[in-house]
């Protein structure tokens, strides 16, 4: 995908939302250790023990709603292509399952459910839609002209690659153009549309301290479980073969996959987006590409 080509950025959205949440923390409008129940009474079991911090760093134990939905190559998946999913509806699907672990905060288990709740908490704290807050606080100040939070709009405007998903019917698998779809299924943790150039600009601004003070950036770079997975408050990192640590996130939006990482000094940045080949695992190839870009 060229630098100005637009694509669905999947879970890279989480870093944008986490930055918005941390700006609200900086403004004193909410706290990382606020229980979910303070903002969303009755939304989830154990809402008195699950905190905003646990939602951000995937240590809440809340079951991930994504596996509860029909997914490719199931043909039922296409039946929901234009459906508008309410966050509360997706959360209910998740909490119908037992938690991934107990007590909250004791382990890491990736959960998109937590970011649906964070979107609602942003709305409670500000009185505005979470997408509007992301655009007001990040997209517009950084002049990210190819970036938007589409809400329920199915369209990808401007130059963009087509994305495809496999669908299996009657024993035969075929690729279906899935470029246009209702992104409410991804919600606050995955609906972002962006470009490689915009993602580089965002991560450079974030790591430079332009969007958050140093204390909250330090929190963002702190793993939720000491010595555990390299994931903090909506921000991931990994160490390259040449010993350089890079920060960012990656995303899977079904028909699109993306990766965006930046060195702490912001001298090197790499953003990659592709339409996946479902016949092969692309992760190892992309990891090698990223490592070469940072170390070559």
- 11 in catalytic set: yes
Closest CA to 251 of 237, 272, 222: 272
Q: Please, are residues 130 and 188 in contact by the beta-carbon 8 Å criterion?
A: yes
- C-alpha 113, offset from chain centre: 11
Q: Please, are residues 240 and 246 in contact by the beta-carbon 8 Å criterion?
A: yes
Enter the tokens of residue 202. 């965002």
Residue 282 and residue 250: Cα distance in Å, rounded?
Answer: 13
Phi and psi angles of residue 26, each rounded to the nearest 5 degrees, phi first:
-60, -35
Residue 148 and residue 192: Cα distance in Å, rounded?
Answer: 6
Enter the tokens of residue 149. 């939070």
Marked catalytic residue, from 11, 60, 111, 184: 11
Q: Is the dihedral of CA 101, 103, 109, 112 positive or negative?
A: positive
- How does DSSP classify residue 3? T
Active site residues: 11
């Amino acid at each position: 995908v060229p630098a100005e080509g637009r694509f669905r950025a999947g879970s890279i959205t989480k870093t944008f939302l986490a930055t918005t949440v941390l700006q609200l923390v900086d403004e004193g409008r909410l706290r990382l250790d606020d229980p979910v129940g303070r903002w969303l009474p009755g939304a989830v079991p154990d809402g008195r023990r699950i905190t905003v911090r646990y939602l951000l760093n995937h240590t809440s134990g809340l079951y991930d709603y994504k596996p509860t939905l029909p997914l490719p190559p199931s043909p039922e998946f296409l039946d929901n292509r234009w459906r508008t999913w309410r966050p509360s509806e997706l959360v209910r699907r998740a909490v119908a399952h037992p938690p991934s672990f107990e007590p909250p905060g004791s382990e890491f288990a990736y959960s998109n459910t937590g970011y649906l709740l964070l979107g609602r908490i942003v709305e409670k704290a500000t009185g505005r839609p979470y997408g509007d807050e992301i655009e007001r606080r990040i997209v517009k100040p950084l002049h990210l002209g190819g970036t938007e939070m589409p809400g329920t709009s199915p369209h990808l405007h401007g130059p963009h690659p087509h994305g495809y998903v496999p669908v299996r019917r009657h024993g035969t698998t075929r690729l279906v153009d899935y470029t246009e779809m209702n992104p409410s299924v991804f919600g606050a943790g995955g609906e972002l549309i962006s470009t490689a150039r915009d993602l580089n600009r965002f991560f450079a601004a974030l790591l430079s301290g332009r969007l958050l003070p140093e204390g909250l950036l330090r929190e963002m770079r702190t793993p939720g479980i000491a010595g555990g997975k390299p994931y903090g408050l909506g921000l991931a990192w990994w160490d390259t073969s040449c010993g350089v640590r890079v920060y960012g996130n990656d995303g899977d939006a079904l028909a699109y996959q993306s990766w965006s990482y930046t060195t702490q000094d912001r001298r090197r940045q790499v953003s990659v987006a592709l339409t996946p080949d479902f016949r092969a695992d692309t992760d190892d190839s992309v990891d090698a590409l990223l490592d070469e870009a940072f170390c070559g």
